[in-house]
A and B are shown apart, each in its own frame.
Chain A
Amino acid sequence: MLKTNCPICDAQVTLPKNTEESEIISCPECHTRLVVANLKGTFATLEEAPKVEEDWGE
């Protein structure tokens, strides 16, 4: 388990072991969509996830 902080509300966010870089998560407190921007060993940083764009989808 990795612990880091939400860049919006500074709440502590716990990342499970199998977290991947670029993974989208939600802040447990402010519910902002976040992206795991960097993941190196026991160090992780989060950024606000990009807004949905016109060509996004499946």
Chain B
Amino acid sequence: MITIGLLHSTIRGDEKLIIEAAKKRGTQIKLIDVREEIFNRKTYRCDFDVALERCVSTVKGMHATYFYESLNIPVINNSSVTSICEDKFVTSLILQKAHVSTPDFAMVFNADQAQQAIKQLGGFPVVIKPPLGSWGRLLAKINDIDALETILEHKDVLGSPHQKSFYLQKYIKKPGRDIRSFVIDSITICAIYRDSPHWITNTARGGVATNCPVTKELSSLSKKASDAVGGGVLSMDVFETEDGLQINEINHTTEFKNSERPTGVSISGAIVDYCIKVAKNL
């Protein structure tokens, strides 16, 4: 019997759904709280076939992934995919290089360069994001030079080193919603709209999830983005623009508990099935 090592640092509703889906398939799940482990290659005894990385902490998840890969245990998602998707700037670089439609962006390290970059992006408004981060935290829509100077000064004085790398993205006017598509093993299995009157539409920030039909365009773009970063279990945040769909960000430990009901698709089941597939291909 295949055993999936579920790497976590808290058990959320998403992980509960994965545990339930594994039970239904007669697949064993071993819960591994990475905060309790000692990652020493010389002493560690591994008793599972494949690891599913679901840590809420990106940094701990990344280190755990490197560790298990060093023991030749396949990890979903692998370290290459994770290292791309955890950083918004790296993700954007990979997408643009692979000709996947994505908003224009730039990275700068000080205010003078920020002003020049914003001109290159077509002017205000722009969005500034920490390269590492999630759930819409510390995103700022910058409408003018005054706001730019204020935000950058605050980041410079108060921020950690990550906050002092300024990722700037062209502001995309959205129709009160964006799309999240779920892509597993290069197949777009379902998608949701995230409706919100606020320009930040994350469900973690109150966005409401409803089913979004997987059109040919959405399926094709999502697959292309997934393939560009290396595939696995991913979700895409997609903007609807006048020029068609654009990939905004890619999530490598995607949350989905609010998406199974509106879509009617067992995302947790698809994740477990993919883990089993990877384990069997050893």
Binding site for B on A (CB under 8 A): 18, 20-24, 35-36, 49-50, 52-58
Asked if A58 contacts B10 (CB within 8 A), the reply is no
Q: Given the interface contacts A54-B162, A56-B135, A58-B134, does A21 sit within 8 Å of B57 by beta carbon?
A: no
Residue picked from A53, A54, A57, most chain B C-beta under 10 Å: A57
B59 within 8 A of A: yes
Asked if B132 contacts A55 (CB within 8 A), the reply is yes
Residues of B within 8 A of A50 (CB): 10
Identify the closest chain A residue to B135 (Cβ). Answer: A57
Interface size on B, residues (CB 8 A): 29
Asked if A57 contacts B134 (CB within 8 A), the reply is yes
Identify the closest chain A residue to B20 (Cβ). Answer: A18
Residues of B within 8 A of A58 (CB): 134-135, 235, 251-255
CB distance from A26 to the nearest CB of B (A): 12
Q: Given the interface contacts A20-B11, A21-B31, does A56 sit within 8 Å of B16 by beta carbon?
A: no
Identify the closest chain A residue to B59 (Cβ). Answer: A55
Among B10, B19, B137, B162, the residue within 8 A (CB) of A35 is B10
Question: In the docked arrangement, what's the CA distance between A35 and B137, Å?
Answer: 22
Residues of B within 8 A of A57 (CB): 56, 58, 133-135, 137, 251, 253
B160 within 8 A of A: yes
Residues of A within 8 A of B56 (CB): 56-57
Among A18, A21, A54, A55, the residue within 8 A (CB) of B33 is A21
Asked if B16 contacts A21 (CB within 8 A), the reply is no
Asked if A22 contacts B10 (CB within 8 A), the reply is yes
B194 within 8 A of A: no
Among A22, A54, A55, A56, the residue within 8 A (CB) of B11 is A22
Residues of B within 8 A of A54 (CB): 130, 132-133, 137, 160, 162
B261 within 8 A of A: no
Question: In the docked arrangement, what's the CA distance between A49 and B254, Å?
Answer: 21
Residue picked from B130, B134, B235, most chain A C-beta under 10 Å: B134
Residues of B within 8 A of A18 (CB): 16, 19-20
Listed from nearest, the 5 A-B pairs whose CB atoms lie closest are A57-B134, A23-B11, A55-B58, A58-B251, A20-B11
Asked if B10 contacts A55 (CB within 8 A), the reply is no
Question: In the docked arrangement, what's the CA distance between A25 and B56, Å?
Answer: 15
Question: In the docked arrangement, what's the CA distance between A56 and B59, Å?
Answer: 8
Question: In the docked arrangement, what's the CA distance between A57 and B133, Å?
Answer: 7
Asked if B57 contacts A20 (CB within 8 A), the reply is no
B8 within 8 A of A: yes
Question: In the docked arrangement, what's the CA distance between A52 and B8, Å?
Answer: 15
Identify the closest chain A residue to B56 (Cβ). Answer: A56
